[in-house]
Structure 1
Amino acid sequence: MLKILQVQHLQKVLVKKRDPVSHVCFIDEIIKDGQPDILYTFWTDVTRTLSEDFHRATEASSFLKQAFEGEYPKLLRLYNELWRRLQQYSTNLLGALTSSGGLDMPLDITTAEVESQDLFTHGKHDYNPEKALKDSLQPYEAAYLSKSLSRLFDPINLVFPIGGRNPPSNDELESIIKTISSELNVASVDPNLSLAVAKNAAKTIQLFCVKSEQLLCTQGDASQVIGPLTEGQRRNVTVVNTLYRLQQAVAKIISALGACPPAAVDALLSSMEGVQALMSSAVQPLLQSVSDSIEAIIITLHQEDFSGPLSSPDKPDVPCSLYMKELQGFISRVMADYFKHFQCVDFVYDNTESIAQRAIELFLRHASLLRPLGEGGKMRLAADFAQMEMAVAPLCRRVSDLGKPYRMLRSFRPLLFQASELIASSPAVGDLIPYSTVLHFLFTRAPSELRSPHQRAEWSIARYSQWLDDHPSERDRLALIRGALEAYVQLVRARQGKEFASIYPIMLQLLQRATSAAQGPKA
């Protein structure tokens, strides 16, 4: 330590002082012709000697080698402390030289010039003396990181035996979490070591995900929604719950890391994205099956009769339709039988809310395609609109959180009873409710010879609904609707009709407005 300080002191003086005759800085004279400065030469000799001495010592003693490798963070902490002491001495010495002029000689350069000098790298700007010092420990760092990775992997390989079918228990998961936390805490003595161990921890989380994925049931019984939970579905629930607990525990570890380098935190957060992705993948078959079943129920509204007139006073209206009762019962059942077993409530809602949005959109689609629709049918359909909010409520935190689909549901219901002219001029049309949906609804008020697009194409309702899913563009949908209106015009002309149905000009005008909107503003 003393030798280092003496050489550092000499280096500072040589950097600071100039020849009184030639005014050449002493250090410039020494390093001319590309020769390294004295501190660089001394420091490279020191670090090389350290590396050689460490190598000889550990080659001669396996005990010493194991100590250096196993206790590498402690050794690194001593190195960091040495470096901090050297830096502190350098700062103190620089302050003393600047204030006194150093060695009772007049100052030849300004304080700013002295402070701007990097004394270790004078003439060697690509040289990092701290890294050179730590490089003498590189073999022990590599061995430590290898053993650290083994310590992280071992408990995972232990709780996921080959051929095993069950995810880790709470105690086993706790052991894995403690190992990750311990390795990160021990590595916190140095930013670079923290980053390296954080990358190992990220690999550990990835391994956990790989092992967990192998346990997931992907066969048909993973997606059934008819009976109680199958064995495969129960295992999938347990896997997701385990991944969720891992996610929560690692998030807690990250928040407690304190002065951990941002790159280390990023490595851990990146691995957590894999956990989230696997959780989503695990529940996707069930979610898709629920969504498909909801669509199958909604489409049965076309099997009910909505063509009737208003009920007489002595025959009260039915609160809602049969398909709506079935839908409400189904959603309540799947939430109770399947989703209540997941501990990650927010995760479940984040996924089921999209099902609720899809359900509302499908309900609006098929309600607009309903033909024929009598006055009594309108009243029952209006009741179904209100009941639809209750039906999807179990799928979300609040129905109002469903955003645009919810607002569409609320805005469309009043249109059931409005005059066609008012519907076409409603501010909600185009802005909130798609033009194509409103045009579909106006077909219900047209005579039978003005056929809906799917009737003209001789498609079933199910096929047309699939076509609409495959063609989300308003331009494509409007083109099909235009074809239906043009076919009606040709039909009227073919029978030499003298006038069109009163709804036709309203629909044509709305279609023209919709087409202009779909094309966007002209350049």
Structure 2
Amino acid sequence: MDAKDVCVEIENDAFYSKFLDENIKPLTGETISVTDQVTKLALGIEKLGKTLEKQVLAKHNDLLTQASHITDLETTLASVQNQVQNLLKGAEKLQDRIHIPYFALENQTIMLERVQTTCNLLRHSTKIIALWNKLINVGDHPAKEAIILFELDELIGDYDFAGIVLLEEVLKEVESRRKELLTNSIAALQSSLLNGDKTKLLQCFKVFHNLQCTEEQIRNTVQNILNELQRDIATSLNVQMVSIEVKKSSSGRVAPGKANIMNAQDFKMKLWDNIEKLFKIEIYNGCAKVIMLQNAINELHAIGNFRNITKNFWSNLLQIFSTELEKSPQNVNQSMEIDYPKLLKCFNDLLSKLKYKDLEMNRSSMMKWENSFLSKSLGKLLEPVRTMWHLSQVPSMDQIDNAIRVIAEALSISLGDKQLSISLANSVAKSIKQMNMEAEQRLSMDSDVAQIIESPTSSQQKNADLCNSLYYFSSQIKRVLVNMNTMLPAESIQIVQNSLKDITSMPVLQLFAESIKNSLYIILMTMHDEPDLVRADDPMGKTLSCSPYMKELQQFVSRCKDIYLSMFQEKSALNECCLNIAIACIERFIQHVCNTRPLSKFGRIKLQIDCKHLEVALSPLVNDVSELGDHYRQLKALHLILEKTPQEIAKSQSEGACLPYSLVMMFLFSHAGPQLLAPHTCAGWNIQKLMQWLDTHKNEKERLEFVAGALQRYQNHVRQNQIATYDEVYPVLIQLLEEGRKHLKK
């Protein structure tokens, strides 16, 4: 059997495989007997033995070769071992040759170091004694004494002089003199800060600088001031101490039944007295000391860079104040929230009194109380607005005055603090927005709010009353802003003014304006039905009056102003509305006049009279018609062209007349014969359709092309019918068309 097969057989055998495990355990648990086990093991050993014999016989040449190689290897290893032994012996000899001189050199170095140390000790001792003698004779010059003591400290710190009897007393005296000088300088620093003695303060810092302890002394001094202020702040905010002082001051004068109210009032007054005193005395004195300290150090450039002493102190002071206020009882915190502007005023007055550029109010430390104050202020501002609308549909003047008073108080509270003023101005703007929103929600938008036939309806009267209330509210706030103009920041005024821009009567007035304009358009439309415009008789020597439609227009405008527009009190909005109506009326009048056909000489004179009476008709709306600017000048220009020939009109137009070329050309069609049809007649429109088109096509180029179309049609008509001559107005129209197009290109 092959050796490999024997190995596989043993590995796979259940009995033999147990002997292959590294952790061999007794086989006492086997079911076969011990004798059988021994027999089976002997059989297995015998198989392995035979297999090994076969392997040895098969590989005997290789085994012999390997055995001879092992002998050679052992010989080589023995040789190497001898060489290693020789190398170790040589290394030991080399070590001895190196160590002996090294140890000798080391001993000499130690001796030299000790000699050098001894020399340095002697040298330092000599300098220490010399400086000590100099220190004894320095006299009353702390700065010089500090320099000598610092040099002595440097020398003494370099070596250990213990055991040198000569220096024992000197070292003790040096340490004593240094402590005494430092103690005296610290005391002098405190007294100079207290008395404001800048000269003495400078001397103290020269001493500290010479002793190399400037930073430490600055830190300790500032910290001591902060600690004292922290105690003062805690004492001022101590509710128990305040209550005791209140009871002492109010004993024997509080009436029965009013003790709680009076105690609360007295407590509040005493608390704020303590806080104001704290800022005026303790905090001011502490800040003044630090500023004096900063100024003194800034003068002594040589002692180092300490530019942020005051700034850091102020930041720490604000944090301490905030922390102590946070720890104070609820009633103290409530007083701070309610009267937060007083607290800001204390800070601002303090900064104003100190007049130091690096100090400014960091509001982040006071943000809790500021936010609470602003929240309550907003509630106070919104309350009267909500109340007045809750009680009635239209607020009374007294209710509005109450809201104005609250707004004025809110703005005046912030005087002296720009940021608080801006924050309160934003709150005021919210109350104004609330007022406007409440009014808008109550404005009636029923179908009858713009009627101008009957007397004003209840809805129209209510709308007018709402607009007048808003106008009164807005005008009173503007008056408050004018009174406070020099005291309030420009940003606060701008915020409030911007919030007032949305308050106007124009939306409601615009409804009336549209109704009035539509009625005026209807009245002006009847111009074309007037028989006088086509009368053939000569008007010379006759006394003529305005047309009936113009009389109706005058009565209508006067009635609308007296009955409907007079309900509104906002003059600026009312004037704007009236100007809008007047301008629309003039524009429509000019358009109708320019498109009236046929038109006789009598009719032109009649229209001239109507032009003059239109100014009278619009006088209830506009005191001075000349305020209408270009529209007034166009009305005057229309009055002039009514009496001119087409050639004269063309000449005046080329010289710079006020009327647009398109309207002048439309007017000239009234001078032409029946063959030269008006532009709207060519389009198949009636006069009403023409007015609608003019309203939606205000561009002069479009209007000129509209007229040009009628001229082109007339030209085609002449050619097709082989008419010998053109209408005498036609060349004038062509000339004006060319000039109008050139005018547009400029």
Normalising by structure 1, report the TM-score: 0.84
**Letter aligned with residue 261 of structure 1:** P
**Is 2:356 the counterpart of 1:130?**
no
Asked whether the equivalents of residues 148 and 183 of structure 1 are also in contact (C-alpha less than 8 Å), the reply is yes
**CA apart distance, 1:431:** 3.9
**Is 2:326 the counterpart of 1:55?**
yes
Asked whether the equivalents of residues 73 and 189 of structure 1 are also in contact (C-alpha less than 8 Å), the reply is no
Partners of 2:368 and 2:416 lie apart in 1 by: 18
**Is 2:630 the counterpart of 1:404?**
yes
Superposition pairs for residues 278-427 of structure 1, below 5 Å?
A: 279-305=505-531, 306-310=533-537, 318-427=544-653
**CA apart distance, 1:191:** 1.7
**Is 2:237 the counterpart of 1:10?**
no
Partners of 2:416 and 2:312 lie apart in 1 by: 29
**Letter aligned with residue 309 of structure 2:** I
Partners of 1:165 and 1:285 lie apart in 2 by: 25
**CA apart distance, 1:248:** 1.5
Partners of 1:478 and 1:312 lie apart in 2 by: 33
Partners of 1:442 and 1:63 lie apart in 2 by: 88
Greater relative CO (CA pairs within 8 A, separation 6+): 1
Partners of 2:655 and 2:708 lie apart in 1 by: 18
**CA apart distance, 1:429:** 6.8
1:118-172 deviation line (CA, Å, top 9, x unaligned): 6x4xxxxxxxx4232x4332211111111111111001101112xx762211111
1:50-69 deviation line (CA, Å, top 9, x unaligned): 11111011xxx221111111
Alignment-derived partner of residue 81 in structure 1: 349
**Is 2:416 the counterpart of 1:189?**
yes
**Letter aligned with residue 473 of structure 1:** N
- Range with greater deviation from structure 2 (464-473 or 499-508): 464-473
**Is 2:487 the counterpart of 1:259?**
yes
**Is 2:699 the counterpart of 1:481?**
no
**Is 2:393 the counterpart of 1:166?**
yes
**Letter aligned with residue 378 of structure 2:** L
**Structure 1 residues 472 and 246, CA gap change in structure 2 (3 angstroms):** same
**CA apart distance, 1:5:** 2.5
Partners of 1:151 and 1:429 lie apart in 2 by: 66
**Structure 1 residues 192 and 428, CA gap change in structure 2 (3 angstroms):** farther
**CA apart distance, 1:44:** 2.7
Partners of 2:474 and 2:655 lie apart in 1 by: 44
**CA apart distance, 1:213:** 0.7
**Letter aligned with residue 336 of structure 2:** F
Partners of 2:405 and 2:304 lie apart in 1 by: 54
Asked whether the equivalents of residues 155 and 176 of structure 1 are also in contact (C-alpha less than 8 Å), the reply is yes
- Range with greater deviation from structure 2 (263-272 or 383-392): 383-392
Q: Secondary structure at the match of 1:405?
A: helix
1:221-246 deviation line (CA, Å, top 9, x unaligned): 11111111011110111111112111
**Letter aligned with residue 168 of structure 1:** P
Asked whether the equivalents of residues 411 and 428 of structure 1 are also in contact (C-alpha less than 8 Å), the reply is no
Partners of 1:517 and 1:393 lie apart in 2 by: 34
Equivalenced residues, count: 461
Asked whether the equivalents of residues 291 and 359 of structure 1 are also in contact (C-alpha less than 8 Å), the reply is yes
**Structure 1 residues 312 and 416, CA gap change in structure 2 (3 angstroms):** closer
**Is 2:380 the counterpart of 1:147?**
no
Asked whether the equivalents of residues 177 and 246 of structure 1 are also in contact (C-alpha less than 8 Å), the reply is yes
**Letter aligned with residue 294 of structure 2:** Q
**Structure 1 residues 296 and 216, CA gap change in structure 2 (3 angstroms):** same
Asked whether the equivalents of residues 225 and 334 of structure 1 are also in contact (C-alpha less than 8 Å), the reply is yes
Higher alpha-carbon Rg? 2
Partners of 1:312 and 1:503 lie apart in 2 by: 24
Asked whether the equivalents of residues 415 and 423 of structure 1 are also in contact (C-alpha less than 8 Å), the reply is yes
Q: Secondary structure at the match of 1:425?
A: helix
**Letter aligned with residue 255 of structure 1:** V
1:404-442 deviation line (CA, Å, top 9, x unaligned): 111111221121121110011115875411111110110
Asked whether the equivalents of residues 637 and 657 of structure 2 are also in contact (C-alpha less than 8 Å), the reply is no
**Structure 1 residues 3 and 186, CA gap change in structure 2 (3 angstroms):** closer
Normalising by structure 2, report the TM-score: 0.60
**CA apart distance, 1:15:** 2.4
Q: Which residue of the other structure, out of 440, 456, 463, is the alignment partner of 1:213? A: 440
Q: Secondary structure at the match of 2:577?
A: helix
Asked whether the equivalents of residues 408 and 432 of structure 1 are also in contact (C-alpha less than 8 Å), the reply is yes
**Structure 1 residues 226 and 430, CA gap change in structure 2 (3 angstroms):** farther
Asked whether the equivalents of residues 474 and 500 of structure 2 are also in contact (C-alpha less than 8 Å), the reply is yes
Partners of 1:170 and 1:43 lie apart in 2 by: 49
Partners of 1:167 and 1:428 lie apart in 2 by: 58
**CA apart distance, 1:183:** 1.1
Q: Secondary structure at the match of 1:424?
A: helix
Q: Secondary structure at the match of 1:384?
A: helix
Q: Secondary structure at the match of 1:309?
A: coil
Partners of 2:686 and 2:513 lie apart in 1 by: 26
**Structure 1 residues 312 and 83, CA gap change in structure 2 (3 angstroms):** closer
**CA apart distance, 1:346:** 4.1
Partners of 2:482 and 2:653 lie apart in 1 by: 48
Asked whether the equivalents of residues 429 and 435 of structure 1 are also in contact (C-alpha less than 8 Å), the reply is no
**Letter aligned with residue 485 of structure 1:** L
Partners of 2:395 and 2:416 lie apart in 1 by: 31
**CA apart distance, 1:43:** 2.7
Q: Secondary structure at the match of 1:458?
A: coil
**Structure 1 residues 273 and 429, CA gap change in structure 2 (3 angstroms):** farther
**Structure 1 residues 380 and 398, CA gap change in structure 2 (3 angstroms):** same
**CA apart distance, 1:219:** 2.0
**Structure 1 residues 362 and 165, CA gap change in structure 2 (3 angstroms):** farther
**CA apart distance, 1:343:** 2.2
Asked whether the equivalents of residues 381 and 428 of structure 2 are also in contact (C-alpha less than 8 Å), the reply is yes
Partners of 1:380 and 1:431 lie apart in 2 by: 22
**CA apart distance, 1:471:** 1.3
Higher helix fraction (1 or 2): 2
**Structure 1 residues 394 and 428, CA gap change in structure 2 (3 angstroms):** farther
Alignment-derived partner of residue 250 in structure 1: 477
Alignment-derived partner of residue 46 in structure 1: 317
**Letter aligned with residue 717 of structure 2:** L
Q: Which residue of the other structure, out of 267, 274, 282, is the alignment partner of 2:502? A: 274
Q: Secondary structure at the match of 1:499?
A: coil
Partners of 2:539 and 2:422 lie apart in 1 by: 77
Partners of 1:348 and 1:361 lie apart in 2 by: 20
Asked whether the equivalents of residues 538 and 601 of structure 2 are also in contact (C-alpha less than 8 Å), the reply is no
